Structure 1
Amino acid sequence: MVTALQETKTIPALPPGFELSVTSGLQRYAVQHDDLTLTSAFQPIFSVSHMRAVGYEGLLRAHDALDRVVPALDVFGEAARHGELHLVDRLAQALHLENFKMLGAEREWLFLNVHPEALTDPYHAAALFANLKRLELSPRRVVLEVLEQRAGDIEKLAEGVRHFREEGFLIALDDFGAGHSNIERIWQLNPDIVKLDRIMLSHAAHRTDMATILPGLVALLHEAGKLVLIEGIETEHEAQLALACDADFVQGFFFGRPNPGLADGTQAAACIGELTERYRAQAEARERATASRLQPYVRAFERAAERLAAGEPLEEVCWNFLALDHAARCFLLDSNGRQAGRNVVLRADRAAKDTGFLPLADAQGANWLRRPYFRDAINAPERVHITRPYLSINEATPCVTLSIATRVGSQMCVLCGDIDWIEEASG
């Protein structure tokens, strides 16, 4: 609740006619705009690895004349309808900078939301720099979050982003995966941090296919040189998904709600520590379950490799392996990764299923040199290698491949066996 105001303070960098005042009791600044009292709240952003808050996102809080809460979206929506969006944007940033300075944070970042057009407005930039200079805050302490908005001139926006980065600011792309914030905007704006929109996390929490895609997306962003923040985490299940994705930073009610002050460091470390321990235990349990599930396939595959090395034909040695549920096919590669002969398929239903991908059915002479199952086997022969689940080109379905390099006569060959990989429901 915002209480009575005192200690009025005029700030040159604010738009004319506005003053910041200290709210009694809470010791934070507020500003009057029409009949609204505007002030700040800060939601902590945590590094999972460091187990502590590394930044705070400044969030606008508004109350009307009767001290009723007015959602920030309504404040900005009303400002946009009256042509005052940039004015309110500047007010919010000035408020957040003043209140962040009052927090006493010594090394954490302040995440500031900025409308894309504000990054191309010289007057807005001058006001931001004036506030930072007066508060003795380095630009390196500020992360500018580019909001998910359609930008009229993307080249001009990219130039504005480059200018702010050259001054020392970090750039975050907000709401990635929603609206106009997509992979193309990453190449255009080259942010330092990408914030994944909550809707992607929500889908991953309820859909197995999305839960599989999310880690790959985070890995792609990492390969592009971007740190990844997953926001909107509200439940432990969502928090576990964020850990499984190898996200760098997390934000959401599960870890910490917006409030006027700093996060409780001891409580945060305990929360993340307990979460990480449960994640470790669950990961080890999954690994044990997977090993147990694969054991019959590995035994049959090892026996097939022994018989192949003894001179028996490929079509004969694979029967025991292919007779197992979900075993898909066997095939043989030479030392250069080229397939010798066709895929060996035991069951008639498998052959019928393959007809939907008839152009791919004949793999004789195909080169699988790029595949991890070939490279791993060649680099460490005479033992079975097991891939992570991946999309099989044969039927566009998830599969796991076993492989082993062994001598067949005078030639080194790689025997491979595919298993359809259907994720088992956790009980």
Structure 2
Amino acid sequence: MMRDLFPWYQPIVETASGRIAGYEALARQKNEVGDVVSAGAFFSDSKHSLENRIAADRSVRYQALSGLNELPGDSFISLNLSPEWLQFIAQTTRLPTLDMLRELDADPSRVMIEITELGGDLGLIQKAVDRYREAGFRIAIDDFGADFSQLDRVALLTPDVVKLDMKLLRDGLDNPRNAAMIQLLGEMASRLGAKVLCEGVETEEAYFLALSCNAYYTQVFLFSEAKAEAAPTECFKSQMISLREDYRDRALDSSMRNHWLAGKVSAELIALRELIKTSESAYGEIDLEHYLPTPQVLRFYLCDRSGNQISPNYENRQGSWNVDNAQRGSNWSWRPYFIELLASDDIDRRLVFSKPYHDIYAGQLSQTAALLIDDDRILLADMIINPPDRDLIYSHHGMQAQSVAVY
């Protein structure tokens, strides 16, 4: 059976250059009518003994590595390894893949070991990963985000590359919350020191989402599925440049709208600040009878410079105001936007926005804006973000955390 299995190569494209940086070797076989299909069913079929599956896997691995020296000198091969395999390796003195490379006179630094899941004995997996790394291999974790209980394992294994779960990428195209989740995973992977790889990129919109997740690499099925021969490294470069330019133009348009929106918010909050200064009673009550906010304003409240909330929440209820004292006395000094405002050299002329978030009460994408009222008080306002319909870039980026000068 193992002679019937063979590798095909899925290109891994580097975002910055548009070149193919590496190839994932995927096991293939022919079905009853001679069509080439995935061999995944063979490896998951318990009818085949573990020993036979390991032998078949090593056969495919050897075939893939046999062509490594024929690839451009800076490209790499990515090989999938199951934790079952790794646990065997951890208990032996040999690394079969390293033995293959020595036989083929190939460089281990051009091979990425891709761990397909993180179940099993973590101690044994870590021991095997450490041995591969010491031998010069790169390490990747597949399906990052598929199981959030395993995030601590990713931090422990310190992979060179993290592959974001393909299902999350697809789901993110239709659901802003899923998009936010996968963007957060991309940010988390980068902060852990790993390069982000997005696989399963089948459309332009999926590619744009991948870029918003800080994808260093992509596997772009949009251009090519796995093939019997490794594609030339420059073959997708013109398409990738075109996609990057399209993304840049759309992101630039989004950023320009962000600046326009920030200006609009600034004008409204400056007007509110002046109203607070001039209409506040001796008892600290604000006369809002003649102040009609835009629907974008969810609520506002006042804090002292220590972050203590010294006013009720003034809730916008379809153009009328509801006073809610539940949060009075809360402290918001730990919020990043609050600290950013206090740290500004021009605090009296600075408006600071938080990162986008989903407001718990309104259930909508929102941001908080912070503006100095006077030497003792700060105005905080929760604002709804209304991205244009069907604008993927804007939906993914929102009006990001920023600060703007106001006059």
TM-score (norm 2): 0.83
Q: 1:285 to 1:260 in 2, by over 3 A?
A: same
Q: 1:181 to 1:38 in 2, by over 3 A?
A: farther
1:113 counterpart = 2:80: yes
Where do 5+ consecutive residues of structure 1 fail to align? 1-32, 355-360
Letter of the aligned partner of 1:247 in structure 2? Answer: A
User: Does the CA-based 8 Å contact 1:40-1:99 persist in structure 2?
Assistant: no
Q: 1:245 to 1:319 in 2, by over 3 A?
A: farther
Q: 1:181 to 1:387 in 2, by over 3 A?
A: closer
1:93 counterpart = 2:61: yes
Equivalent residue, structure 2, for 1:39: 6
Equivalent residue, structure 2, for 1:389: 356
1:58 counterpart = 2:22: no
Q: Within 1, Cα distance between the matches of 2:328 and 2:323?
A: 19
Q: 2:196 aligns with which of 204, 209, 228?
A: 228
1:150 counterpart = 2:119: yes
User: Does the CA-based 8 Å contact 1:228-1:249 persist in structure 2?
Assistant: yes
What do the CA deviations read for 1:131-168 (whole angstroms, capped 9, x no partner)? Answer: 111222222111101112632x2211221111211222
Partner of 2:331, secondary structure, is coil
Q: 2:298 aligns with which of 328, 335, 343?
A: 328
Q: Within 2, Cα distance between the matches of 1:62 and 1:389?
A: 47
Q: 1:238 to 1:307 in 2, by over 3 A?
A: same
1:420 counterpart = 2:387: no
Aligned-residue offset at 1:421: 3.0
Q: 1:241 to 1:43 in 2, by over 3 A?
A: same
Letter of the aligned partner of 2:384 in structure 1? Answer: D
1:305 counterpart = 2:273: yes
Q: Within 2, Cα distance between the matches of 1:318 and 1:125?
A: 76
Aligned-residue offset at 1:100: 2.5
Alignment of structure 1 residues 200-219 onto 2, 5 Å: 200-219=168-187
Letter of the aligned partner of 1:212 in structure 2? Answer: A
1:251 counterpart = 2:219: yes
Partner of 2:370, secondary structure, is strand
Aligned-residue offset at 1:72: 1.1
User: Does the CA-based 8 Å contact 1:43-1:258 persist in structure 2?
Assistant: yes
Q: Within 1, Cα distance between the matches of 2:320 and 2:150?
A: 39
Q: 40-49 or 73-82: which moved more?
A: 73-82
User: Does the CA-based 8 Å contact 1:322-1:346 persist in structure 2?
Assistant: no
Q: Within 2, Cα distance between the matches of 1:61 and 1:70?
A: 6
Equivalent residue, structure 2, for 1:369: 333
Letter of the aligned partner of 1:147 in structure 2? Answer: T
Q: Within 1, Cα distance between the matches of 2:139 and 2:297?
A: 48
Alignment of structure 1 residues 112-151 onto 2, 5 Å: 112-122=79-89, 125-148=94-117, 150-151=119-120
Q: 1:213 to 1:68 in 2, by over 3 A?
A: closer
Q: 1:125 to 1:178 in 2, by over 3 A?
A: farther
Q: Within 1, Cα distance between the matches of 2:135 and 2:124?
A: 17
Q: Within 2, Cα distance between the matches of 1:295 and 1:109?
A: 48
Aligned-residue offset at 1:237: 0.9
Aligned-residue offset at 1:204: 0.5
What do the CA deviations read for 1:160-188 (whole angstroms, capped 9, x no partner)? Answer: 11121122212111122336983143144
**Length, aligned pairs only:** 383
Equivalent residue, structure 2, for 1:12: none
What do the CA deviations read for 1:275-309 (whole angstroms, capped 9, x no partner)? Answer: 11111111122233344455543222112223445
Partner of 1:231, secondary structure, is strand
Aligned-residue offset at 1:232: 0.7
User: Does the CA-based 8 Å contact 2:315-2:322 persist in structure 1?
Assistant: no
Q: Within 1, Cα distance between the matches of 2:196 and 2:239?
A: 20
Where do 5+ consecutive residues of structure 2 fail to align? 392-407
Equivalent residue, structure 2, for 1:241: 209
Q: 1:76 to 1:64 in 2, by over 3 A?
A: same
User: Does the CA-based 8 Å contact 1:326-1:421 persist in structure 2?
Assistant: yes
TM-score (norm 1): 0.80
Query: Which of structures 1 and 2 has the bigger CA Rg?
Result: 1
Q: 1:287 aligns with which of 255, 265, 280?
A: 255
Q: Within 2, Cα distance between the matches of 1:321 and 1:139?
A: 68
Q: Tell me how large the CA RMSD over aligned residues is.
A: 3.0
Q: Within 2, Cα distance between the matches of 1:218 and 1:70?
A: 31
Q: Within 2, Cα distance between the matches of 1:134 and 1:288?
A: 57
Q: Relative contact order: is structure 1 or structure 2 higher (C-alpha 8 Å, sep ≥ 6)? A: 2
Equivalent residue, structure 1, for 2:39: 72
User: Does the CA-based 8 Å contact 1:230-1:247 persist in structure 2?
Assistant: yes
Partner of 1:363, secondary structure, is coil
Q: Could you tell me the percent identity over the aligned residues?
A: 27
Partner of 2:5, secondary structure, is strand
Partner of 1:399, secondary structure, is strand
Letter of the aligned partner of 1:420 in structure 2? Answer: I
Equivalent residue, structure 1, for 2:370: 403
User: Does the CA-based 8 Å contact 2:160-2:195 persist in structure 1?
Assistant: yes
Letter of the aligned partner of 1:366 in structure 2? Answer: S
Letter of the aligned partner of 1:150 in structure 2? Answer: G
Letter of the aligned partner of 2:112 in structure 1? Answer: V
Q: 1:133 to 1:206 in 2, by over 3 A?
A: same
Equivalent residue, structure 2, for 1:341: 311
Q: 305-314 or 277-286: which moved more?
A: 305-314
